[in-house]
A and B are shown apart, each in its own frame.
Chain A
């Protein structure tokens, strides 16, 4: 009997978890997100979290990773070795998950909806073969602690739009690691809306492996109370003429904390690569915090890399202008916050999803403006 998440792979992952240990704030990548203290004595646990497919469009193949005898496309892509401790943990501590395949050339128009829920660890794999296209809508249920290890493989010229909404769940600890491999001409667009948890972290490691491969990441966070949201990205331009953009806009009120850590690596020989990173945060409270850390690591020549980060308060002059035109203060603040988030929302190409995110943001903003 063959298993996708077999004992050899799990043992290898367990060794990574064992050698690295539980992430805490003295580890640079986890400086702003102390998982160890958020979990306390309960630790990582070893239960399996659950998944639910809300809509499986015709033409998408699905496989339950807990089942024996996985098809060859699963074996070709699943459970690649990783040094990421939480991704390794999701493999070591979980017996299952779900895998999807969009076959070569299939253009799927209906969004595929997948939700992860319950406490524990779970794995997921999404394979888009050459020329395939899909919209993935990822739902995130609240849980005491859940860790999702997601792998995505995009074949040549494949196109994926991924929209993920992390809910307002003040007591939850929700972490997810997505590892992506993108072949020549492949394009990934990922959008991450977050409303904050006790600790919420979305980590992306994206390898642009063929000429013309693209990754476009955007995100918005609206956080209040003591909520936390962390988006940590690492985009690696392995080949030349690859392109990546990142645009993250965060609003933190109360004692909330918004984190963006983004690293772009341009490998040796990846000439002609183009990358940009923008992260901005507005702090509405004296005790709100934003940690923005864009980073560049360049080993190639002739590359275009831009990055910028800014933390501020609502612009007093803009606020006065709107109020002087008769718009009440709370409404004017709301309008300016929407305006601040607007360009990051506009990155979502799927109209329904864009409007859904916008509506959720409006609701969240009403609470804090």
Chain B
């Protein structure tokens, strides 16, 4: 589904990713772990199509298509979803209006008809309930005055609503207490599906207790330095990153 080959990415002339390769099949959950500054967030932004990230070498293929050539909105319509580490606050746009606009934009791009306000509301309400997203939150301006946990829950609500094929979760655990983390993880696990791939990006092993990955990749200095099954997370927790990310002699 997703094939990243020898990816080099520079931001403002500084190389952040230096030859990253990664392959994810439908139904798989992969985790990317790594210390601060290893390039984790850069990878998530590059996959979602943010401006300012220059791909200097390598390729990203998504379902056989060159992902790099597509603007962010087309990637979204084709099923790429990034749950962001810091969801933005947009005063003046209600959460519900935003959800409806986004959902219908994706549908339109795929040649599907718009859903009316009532249908969207029904759909959102059904998903909101399990994620403990209140009616009141949906009426408020997007993310404005939301707690860290509320923002992350809303990200997962969007993931449930848009039903992406490739979901990237960027530090979804950051800023969450254990109850909030459990709730978010349950939301994510409910969306595990044989047709859906997930890439979970995290600094800490903690999240992977709840969202158990099929495969773990350790990112350091812009490339994958170690790979393994879920037991690798425990090893990292015990030994720390230092040993793994040491410059090769």
Contacts and interface: CB of A to CB of B under 8 A. Distances in A.
Interface stretch (A111-119, A212-220, A313-321): A313-321
Nearest to B84: A321
Interface string B50-85: 110000000000000000000111011100001010
Contacts of B49: 323-324
A326 B106 contact: yes
A312 to B, nearest CB: 14
Contacts of B73: 323-324, 326-329, 332
Contacts of A318: 88, 90
A324 B77 contact: no
Contact of A316 (B51, B109, B158): B51
Given A318-B90, A339-B93, A326 B105 contact: yes
A340 interface: yes
B88 A331 contact: no
Contacts, number: 77
A327 B109 CA distance: 9
A338 B92 contact: yes
B225 to A, nearest CB: 28
A332 B142 CA distance: 14
Interface string B136-169: 0000010000000000000000100010000000
Nearest to B82: A324
B71 A335 contact: no
Nearest to B77: A326
B102 interface: yes
A26 B1 CA distance: 66
Given A324-B49, A326-B73, A331 B105 contact: yes
Nearest to B49: A324
B84 A327 contact: no
Contacts of B50: 320, 324
Contacts of B76: 323-326
Contacts of B98: 322, 325, 335
Contacts of A343: 91-92
Where chain A touches its partner, the secondary structure class is: helix
B21 interface: no
A29 to B, nearest CB: 32
B87 interface: yes
A339 to B, nearest CB: 3
Given A316-B51, A320-B50, A320-B72, A325 B102 contact: yes
A315 B105 contact: no
Query: What is the interface residue range for chain B against chain A?
Result: 20 to 34
Given A316-B51, A317-B88, A318-B88, A324 B93 contact: no
B48 interface: yes
A183 to B, nearest CB: 35
A336 interface: yes
Q: Which of B48, B87, B92, B106 has the most CB of A within 10 A?
A: B92
Contact of B109 (A322, A326, A332, A338): A326
A341 B242 CA distance: 50
A82 interface: no
B91 A324 contact: no
B101 interface: yes
Contacts of B88: 315, 317-318, 321
A192 B84 CA distance: 38
Contacts of A335: 93, 98, 101
Nearest to A346: B92
A342 B92 contact: yes
Nearest to A341: B92
Contacts of B87: 321
Contacts of B93: 335-336, 338-339, 342
Contacts of B77: 326
A322 B102 contact: yes
B199 to A, nearest CB: 15
A321 B50 CA distance: 9
28 contacts: A318-B88, A318-B90, A320-B72, A321-B84, A321-B87, A321-B88, A322-B90, A322-B98, A323-B72, A324-B72, A324-B76, A325-B98, A325-B158, A326-B76, A326-B77, A326-B102, A326-B103, A327-B73, A327-B105, A328-B73, A328-B109, A331-B105, A332-B73, A335-B93, A336-B93, A338-B92, A339-B92, A339-B141
List the 4 closest A-B pairs by CB distance, nearest first.
A339-B92, A342-B92, A326-B76, A326-B106
Interface of A: 315-318, 320-329, 331-332, 335-336, 338-343
